[in-house]
Amino acid sequence: MKYMILSYASQQDYDGMAGRASDLPAWSPDDFAAMASFMQAFNAELAESGELVETRALAAPVHTRRLGASNGVPFVTDGPYAETQEVLAGYWIVECDSFDRATEIASRLAACPAPEHVVANAYADVRPIMESSAEID
């Protein structure tokens, strides 16, 4: 069974990680290095257990292009999000034997080192990836 683990960040969080302070303090080089090495080990372990299908990080929210229509008139917007709005920042697709196992994998992200203000309210979502009922049979 496949599940997607989603993590979120605002443009301000991205700025912090890039070393730029906003309303939120900037990450130190050590902060960033600690997170990077945690993620590397986390991903390597998942790959090793055969549970990792793929993982990606998304570029900063500012690089978002939204396409839509307004009253029937097509439009394109660059950077549609507010600075503080949390949006999808990265994801993992894992293949494992239950929702509970996928949840466990996601829970290990809580151990990811980061500045205190980030750790204090960090979260991730786990969502089942659609499969036919024959696949869960």
Partner 1 sequence: MSGTDVENLLRQLAPQVLGAVVRRYGNFDTAEDAVQEALLAAATQWPNDGIPDNSKGWLITVAARRLTDLLRSEQARRRREDTVARWELPKQQADPIDSSADSDDTLILLFMCCHPALSAPAQIALTLRAVGGLTTAEVARAFLVSEATMTRRITRAKQQIKDSGIPFRLPARAERVERLGVVLHVLYLIFTEGYAATAGPSLHRVELSTEAIRLTRMVHKVLPDDGEVAGLLALMLLTDARRAARTNDTGELVPLAEQDRSLWNGDYIAEGVELITAALPRGIPGPYQLQAAIAAIHDEAPSAEETDWPQIKALYELLLEMSDNPIVALNHAVAVAMADGPAAGLARVATLAGDKQLAEDHRLYAVRAHLLEMTGDTAAARNAYLAAARRATNLPQQRYLNRRAAMLDNAPS
Contact footprint for partner 1 (CB under 8 A): 1, 49, 51, 96-101, 103-104, 107, 128, 133-134, 136-137
Q: In angstroms, what is the minimal distance from the CB of 30 to partner 1?
A: 28
CB closer to partner 1 out of 23 and 131? 131
In angstroms, give the least distance from the CB of 130 to partner 1. Answer: 11
Nearer to partner 1, 78 or 100 (CB): 100
Q: Which is nearer to partner 1, 48 or 78 (CB)?
A: 48
* Element holding 48 (H helix, E strand): helix 29-49
Rounded to an integer, what distance in angstroms lies between the CA atom of residue 125 and that of residue 130?
15
Neighbours of 122 (CB within 10 A): 15
Rounded distance, CA 53 to CA 5, Å?
11
User: At closest approach, how far in Å is the CB of 21 from partner 1?
Assistant: 32
Q: How far apart are CA 95 and CA 93, in angstroms?
A: 7
Judged by CB, which is closer to partner 1: 80, or 128? 128
- List, in order, residues 6 or more apart from 72 with CB less than 8 Å away: none
